[in-house]
Amino acid sequence: MAAIENAKVVGLGHAYETAVKMYHQQHERWTQWTVFFLGSVLSIIVVWSQVREDVPFWAAALPAAVVSALGISAAENIRGQAYSWQIVVEETEAALQRACAGDERQVVTLPFARFQELLAEFDRLEDLKATLNIFSPVPYQSVTRLLVLIAGATASSLFGLATYSIVTQIWP
């Protein structure tokens, strides 16, 4: 009986390590996404500044706005995955504690299967709405939500500037 309990603990320990690694991988993805997003937007604007006599501003602002909007989608996907792995880690920790205490009710969870369930349940639109509600404390409690806000502000500003540039070019 002790060998079975020991095997459960070892199996849960492996599941826990896997979940923690995947959770940390999501945080690395945030760094990569932030560098890509900011670098892409800035490079578009810098290239435009070098050819501004030949290219209207809206031709630079519109692609930069699209990159910003796509950045919001990427950020919400990363947020959903990080959230799902965080829950898997917490559930596995609880199962590991129960197994170490000899609790017979302990259920082995498969980390990737559980992750997929949680990811399917994650409502990206509701998360985005909570993030964009700047009058609540929610967006200011997380760096990742602040990055989504920055991408949203950038996309909105660039779409507005592109529209203004087009309108003033048509009707000077």
- pLDDT tens-place string over residues 63-83: 999 999 999 999 999 999 999
Contacts of 68 (CB under 8 A, 6+ apart): 37, 41, 151, 152, 154, 155, 158
For residue 20, pLDDT beyond 90:
no
Residue 120 in tokens: 């399917």
- pLDDT tens-place string over residues 110-121: 889 999 999 999
pTM over 0.85: no
Looking at the chain, the number of H-run helices and the number of E-run strands are 5, 0
The rounded distance, in Å, linking the Cα atoms of 56 and 167 is 12
The rounded distance, in Å, linking the Cα atoms of 94 and 39 is 41
Q: Which amino acid is at 63?
A: P
The rounded distance, in Å, linking the Cα atoms of 80 and 122 is 6
